[in-house]
Structure formats: C-alpha cells, structure tokens
Amino acid sequence: MALVGQPIEIGTASTTLMTVPATLEASLHSLLISNPTGGNLDVTLSYFDSGTSSELSLLTQTVTGDTTLKAFDAPINMAAGDKVNASASGTGLVALVSRFENSSTPAEVGFTARGNYTATTTYAVNDVVFLESDSNSYLSRTASNLNNVPSSNPSNWQIFGAVGQTGSISANPTLVNPILSGDFTTSSGNFDIDPATQIVEIKGNGSDTEGQIQLNCHANSHGQIIKAQPHSEGVTNTSLLPKGASSTLVSEAGTATLTNKTFDVVNDADGNLRDIPLSTKVSGNYTLGIGDVGNQVTINSANVTVTVPTGVFAVGDIISLVSVNGCTASLACTAVNAVKAGDLAATALHTLDANGVASIMFSYTADLAVLTGNIS
C-alpha cells in the first residue's frame, strides 16, 4: 500500500493525471487544479472506465487566474486500469493529484485450488496452482491467465507458498498425519522409531497391494521384500526371528543344510513321518507297489495272497503289513530273496499271522527283503 502525490501540467490535449496499475486498486483522495497565470483558463475532466473501455465526461469549469479549484468534494474509488484525464483551454494549469494505492481486491475474496499447473488451462484471478518444476505454489493475479509459466511471469502470478530449505527434524518431534517424501538420514547412529505400541505399521493401498518392507543391498540396486499375507487370508500373524547367535533364514528356493535343529513335526509327501499312513485296504490278492513304501497295507479278508515283486523297490524302502478281523495272509516272495529276521535262508512263501503286524525292509540289495514281526 502507498500514498502517492504529484503535480502534473495540464496541456491543451488530453493529459492523463492518474492511472491505476494493473495489479492494484486506488482511491483518488484529492484533485486540485491550480491556475498561476493571470488570466482565466477552462479545464475539462473525464474518467476512463477499464471495465467497459469507455470514457465519461466529469466536468468543464473555468479556473480564475491565480486561484485553485478543488475538483471533487469526496474521494473516488478506482479499479485497476481506470484513469482520470484532463485538458485545458490554454497552457499553464497544474493538477495536484493525491491518491492511495493498495493491492487489488481479488486476494481478499478467497482462493481456488486448481492443482498442478498446466499450460493448457485458463486460470482466473485468485486461482492457486502448484508448479512441479520448483515445488512452489502460485496465485493468479490476472483473469484469462493462459500459458504463462508462473515462475517466469510475475505480472500474471505471485508466489503463494515457497518451498523451504532442506533441514533436519528436531529431537523427539510429534508428527500428526505427515506426508513424507525423499530420503531420511541421520548424522550418526541408527534411525530410531519409538511408537507407543512398539509397532511400525506399513499399510496396504486399500485395493490390491499389501504392506511391504524392502531391505536393499549396499549399492541399492536390488533388495529383499518382506510382504504381508493378502487380505483374503484374513489373518494377523506374528513371526519370530531366530534367537541365539547370528544366523541365516532358510529359503524355499534351492537347498540348505540344517544343523542341530529339533522339529516337532517332520513331513514328506505322505504327511507326518511319525505316522504310518494307510495306502490301501486289501480284500483280495494284491501285488505291492511303489505307492506302498512308507505306508501300511491293511488286509481285512481271509486267504489273501500278497505278492512282493522284483525291480520295483530300492534299498531302504519299508512297507508295513497289518491283518485285521482275525485274518491271515500269504506273503509270496518268489521273485525276491525274502528272509525272516533271525533265519539263515530265504523262504519263498511266508504267512502273516492273524491280527499280525509285519514290516518288509529292502536291505543291502533291492531284491533282498528282510521280514520282521508276526511272520511264520
């Protein structure tokens, strides 16, 4: 804001006594017309309205020699671009103009946030935009503001909010719903986070991506991601890291060796290795197959013959046989060398006793079967 006063000689042609700058508004406090000559001179005043681009006649009056005329009894409020013009019937008249100038009114009527600036958008007075190239926000000072880059057109834009200098967060700050970007570093030591619940929560995006943490290599060219289970699982789990000395987690990819570990449950393709799953129930003659290895074959009918074939099993394979309902079964071992544990020679035909349990273990060679249990 400013108070401005100046004397201006009025010529016989139209003379501009006052023009309101484009970005301001003004009040014409006083206009005095002085005639220092000895003779009478006529003065004509007119007003140019920038809003309608028209000029209106205000008055024509004689100024007696060696007197001063007060043109207006009250201030005149003027908008940006408005003018007061004068002309005289002769030379010698001097206008004494006193006015008050201030920022134009648009900044007082509220702002309209328009998002990121684009050159193809026409902006109105008081529109506020964000300029990505310098991270500043700008206020439009003019109407029909098109294709004027804010950072290089101060006549059309003024800075509304300037980006601050990079600094550091003071000790123990309290941040409420902050939006953070960029890299966070410390001058020394670890980056400590101490939430009240002792939980740091990484949120998903609300639609299709789970919360994740990525731990980068020293070159920050790649890393490993710790990722939450999808929403469809409907679970919140706690995963405990290994205790004791420094160690490495075992990956599902590739092979690894575990040393000095105790497992509560050990599984393979057939399930818990502490169990002997049932592979089949036999009610008629049956030939053992590779699917019976590690499992039990249950015999629930009398006079059943179970055949042990050759060329099917490998050293170390074990099959369990169980007879139920008081049934006995014949074990035909003509194709392999079958030795009952404790015997000296192989026998081609063995009997599984009623309600008996026996095991066949292929030992030393794939065609040498050792029989244990209720075998006769």
Q: Where in the chain is the domain with CATH 2.60.120.1330?
A: 2-103
Predicted pLDDT at 1: 58
Predicted pLDDT at 56: 94
Predicted pLDDT at 110: 79
What pLDDT digit, counting tens, does each position of 150-198 carry? 999 999 999 999 887 666 666 667 777 777 777 777 777 887 888 889 8
**SS3 letters for the chain?**
CEEEEEEEECCCCCEEEEECCCCEEEEEEEEEEEECCCCCEEEEEEEEECCCCEEEEEEEEEECCCEEEECCCCCEEECCCCEEEEEECCCCCEEEEEEEEEECHHHHCCCEEEEECCCCCEECCCEEEEECCCCEEEEECCCCEECCCHHHCCCCEEEEECCCCCCCCCCCCCCCCCCCCCCCCCCCCCCCCCCCCCCCCCCCCCCCCCCEEEEECCCCCCEEEEECCCHHHCCCCCCCCCCCCCCCCCCCCCCCCCCCCCCCCCEECCEECCCCCEEEEECCCEECCHHHCCCEEEECCCCEEEECCCCCCCCCCEEEEEECCCCCEEEECCCCEEEECCCCCCCCEEEECCCCEEEEEECCCCCEEEEEECEC
Q: Where in the chain is the domain with CATH 2.10.10?
A: 106-161
Predicted pLDDT at 166: 66
What pLDDT digit, counting tens, does each position of 40-87 carry? 999 999 999 998 999 999 999 999 999 999 998 899 999 989 999 999
Spans of the chain below 70 pLDDT: 1, 104-109, 165-172, 262-274
Written out in words, the top-level CATH class of the domain with range 271-373 is mainly beta
Predicted pLDDT at 40: 93
Predicted pLDDT at 108: 47
Written out in words, the top-level CATH class of the domain with range 2-103 is mainly beta
Written out in words, the top-level CATH class of the domain with range 106-161 is mainly beta
